[in-house]
Amino acid sequence: MDERRELYRSPNGDVWYLGRDPSDGMAVIIHQANGPSGSAISFVALRDFLRTGANGPEHQALLRLIATLVQTPPFADRGDAER
């Protein structure tokens, strides 16, 4: 996997990346364990990553990244207009 974007680096050295599966182009989360844990790399489909307890800091980092894809929050300038 040549292209990936770092999402989160934990205090213990684990790193999560957003990447793309070269076989089908689908988004995946790449988790690389820290050195003492063997530096193992695992791949998780984006939909599965978001299904599994999306309260961790790595999940929050992904959600913040997704939020950057929109310039203005919906209804931000509309006041009390219909939603």
**Domain ranges within the chain, ordered by starting residue:** 4-67
Per residue in 6-40, pLDDT tens? 999 999 999 999 998 878 888 999 999 999 999 99
Radius of gyration of the chain (CA): 16
pLDDT category at 79 given cuts 50, 70, 90 is low
DSSP 30: E
CA dist 53 and 7 (Å) reads: 17
Per residue in 43-76, pLDDT tens? 999 888 888 767 889 999 998 898 888 877 666 6
Q: Are strands 4-9 and 15-20 parallel, antiparallel or unpaired?
A: antiparallel
- Amino acid, res. 37: S
Residue 18: per-residue pLDDT? 94
pLDDT category at 1 given cuts 50, 70, 90 is very low
CA dist 80 and 73 (Å) reads: 14
- Is the sign of the CA dihedral 74, 80, 82, 83 positive or negative? positive
Q: Is the pLDDT of residue 77 over 70?
A: no
CA dist 12 and 43 (Å) reads: 19
